[in-house]
Structure 1
């Protein structure tokens, strides 16, 4: 049981919906056998009942295979099962002819008429509903169902069934087939919508990561742009002075060396994340990004960020940034809560979200162990300010990340 539960939890939401849809269509085959094949044993003799059950079971199995192949086609994994649909249609009409022949020329009795009539209508209804899975255009689906209904009525008349009974069979197949066809089309549409929403979610996550890269690029540009321009100008000036034999060229090159060394230090600060960040801006940015991604974000205590020292804001700002990015990239969160509290001489930042079970092995909320951007990287940044980080699963599918940094003295702030 635990293995089955783990197998189910290991699937993404679209995969779960696809599995549910696929087995629903397989269950239709079970319903067909249970509703059409088994009742005949109480209506006709065991010999005839066995033959009817065998025909219904074969038709149900063909319906299950067709539904599976058609569903694969809708997902782009197979070619359109045209031959299989034609085979299903031929099998359906063949069973209809067989039931009509039994009704007209086989054993007489009310039970025989009831059994063959039930099999007649049911086979056509299930055949029309299943064949509709292999068609996308609604007009073609309508034409397919109408064709099954018209064929049922025409065969009934050709084999001597009275007009009113043939009309009733036509209407029954039309209504039942239309209902099953609509159910099939709606199920496929719902599955496509789930996959499209999942793809949109992945796109939003990639955009969030791209925004982080752009922000990093802007930081590097701010650091290097001005300094490189100064280096270029002073180098050119030093070249001109050297050509004229002026001793000031040495001073200019010394200044170039100083600017280059300063640039190296600033670049290292950017790469390592040691530049001071505004924690309040990071918190508001995280809330905006999460809400834009359709995740309900609860924020509390963000007004306390302004009184924190710059190095503490920088460390906690990275925690917020990385946690937000990983909530978007991993798991299937619908809710995320971020709180900033002051407790007994320390500041505590908590990021908690649900949907962590959707990504086995990489729980959402900064569980990514990539170099410098996962738990290890965040702990390194917090260690600079003597902070600690704990992270782990909570509840059934939740994930909680808690960062704590000791404070010497922060006045005017209460928890």
Structure 2
């Protein structure tokens, strides 16, 4: 029941896993900006002159490589490309080279204490951000820990041969452990969370497919139970009738009469099975919808009563509830769904509305003074459900145009309908066919920006027509 041509913007058109992936991807791009701000700029301020201009430039180059490596590594974790082995090795080599040059300048640079402090900051920052980014390119907890351990061990092995005092070397290695370990944990957790979101989305799709498959199996079992025995009996009695006919026995006629009776009985039973398959009980569908949506973490509120409705009306509205609930689960990002059943003058109106849908839906229509009581009549003096044409200026509550009746929305009044007419989609077409069989109508569309509303209206016989609740 998606709206053809609806547009909720670049962000609104994304699925929930797509939004999480975009957020994760841009978070790692933001890490590059953080590296420049936290490592490059302080190094520039500490160095003073001489090499000061080169330090932020080197850090910026490393940050750009971090962003590039993170992007391709995320594509690899999603299975969209091969592991970027060459880029990972290149990035690792650049990280080691910058770290070695930084520690050499820290101990033997010409700039004194200011340059030593700046290059030490670059040393710790480059190893921290480098190790954290490299953790995206490996799988498994052991490999992530190996990357962190390698960065810490490398920090010690580079410092000690250059004559750095052991306490200072241990302090720097600890700083590398904290920065690299924290970023590596962030990287591993982000990949795990992204994988979990996609797996949950696939599980939801699988659940919908399994529900359809289970219903098909149930229908197949019913047909097998009905037809299997009867067809076997028909085959045996037909064979017996053939043998009796060849022998000129009059009992063959009785056997064929029995075959005819069994065939008619089978025909009736098949019709009963199909009828039970095609019909849906509204009360059961409402209860089932509430349970399924609650299990999916979607709050579902059901209002109104559906007692005393004809069987064919309940069946048609039950299918609307079933189809609408399926689409709430499969589409959009719903957190709340409201289902309302209202019995009005001459008709019953079923409304299913959920949030989490981005679109250009219109606002509720007009301010006319004669809106139908529950969508069963149009504007002031509006027609009835079947064929009346409203002439008032109020907006029709369910029609396509103001003051119109619920079937085709024709009317002389102005004002937009509450729910726009939307075509397309096999689900909508099937529901309209079921509702048209009982004289009903279906409208569906986005309303108030981020909500989707389905309104089904079915006329009632005069004996069962109620008063609006």
TM-score between both structures, scaled by the size of structure 2: 0.75
Change (3 A) 1:49 1:273: farther
* TM-superposed deviation, 1:73: 2.5
Question: In the alignment, what sits opposite 1:188?
Answer: 191
Any idea what SS the aligned residue of 1:43 has? helix
Question: In the alignment, what sits opposite 2:126?
Answer: 123
Question: In the alignment, what sits opposite 1:345?
Answer: 346
Change (3 A) 1:7 1:384: same
1:404 lines up with 2:460 in the alignment: no
Which runs of no fewer than 5 residues in structure 1 stay unpaired?
359-365
Question: In the alignment, what sits opposite 1:99?
Answer: 102
Question: In the alignment, what sits opposite 1:7?
Answer: 10
Question: In the alignment, what sits opposite 2:399?
Answer: none
Q: Deviations over 1:193-235 (max 9, x none)?
A: 1111111111111122223323433554466456545644553
Which runs of no fewer than 5 residues in structure 2 stay unpaired?
1-5, 360-421
Question: In the alignment, what sits opposite 1:28?
Answer: 31
- Structure with the largest fraction of helix: 1
* TM-superposed deviation, 1:267: 5.6
Change (3 A) 1:213 1:333: farther
Change (3 A) 1:386 1:220: farther
Counterpart CA distance in 2 for 1:102 and 1:217 is 78
RMSD after superposition: 3.3
Counterpart CA distance in 2 for 1:232 and 1:348 is 50
1:16 lines up with 2:19 in the alignment: yes
Change (3 A) 1:336 1:161: same
1:320 lines up with 2:321 in the alignment: yes
Counterpart CA distance in 2 for 1:11 and 1:110 is 52
Counterpart CA distance in 2 for 1:172 and 1:368 is 60
**Within-5 A mapping of 1:325-404:** 325-357=326-358, 369-370=425-426, 374-404=427-457
1:162 lines up with 2:165 in the alignment: yes
Aligned length: 401
Question: In the alignment, what sits opposite 1:210?
Answer: 213
* TM-superposed deviation, 1:250: 5.6
Change (3 A) 1:414 1:100: closer
Counterpart among 66, 73, 78 of residue 70 in structure 1: 73
Q: Deviations over 1:103-153 (max 9, x none)?
A: 344332443222212111111111121122223332332332232123223
Conserved? CA contact 1:204–1:293, under 8 Å? no
* TM-superposed deviation, 1:34: 2.2
Counterpart CA distance in 1 for 2:459 and 2:331 is 30
Conserved? CA contact 1:269–1:275, under 8 Å? no
Counterpart CA distance in 2 for 1:48 and 1:308 is 85
* TM-superposed deviation, 1:172: 0.8
Moved more, 260-269 or 112-121: 260-269
Counterpart CA distance in 2 for 1:58 and 1:134 is 19
* TM-superposed deviation, 1:342: 0.9
Counterpart among 101, 111, 114 of residue 111 in structure 1: 114
* TM-superposed deviation, 1:84: 3.5
Counterpart CA distance in 1 for 2:276 and 2:357 is 27
Question: In the alignment, what sits opposite 1:51?
Answer: 54
Counterpart CA distance in 1 for 2:186 and 2:457 is 53
Conserved? CA contact 2:109–2:116, under 8 Å? no
Any idea what SS the aligned residue of 2:14 has? coil
Conserved? CA contact 1:129–1:184, under 8 Å? yes
**Within-5 A mapping of 1:268-307:** 276-301=279-304, 304-305=306-307, 307=308
Any idea what SS the aligned residue of 2:339 has? strand
Counterpart CA distance in 2 for 1:57 and 1:127 is 13
Change (3 A) 1:396 1:273: farther
Question: In the alignment, what sits opposite 1:361?
Answer: none
Moved more, 318-327 or 224-233: 224-233
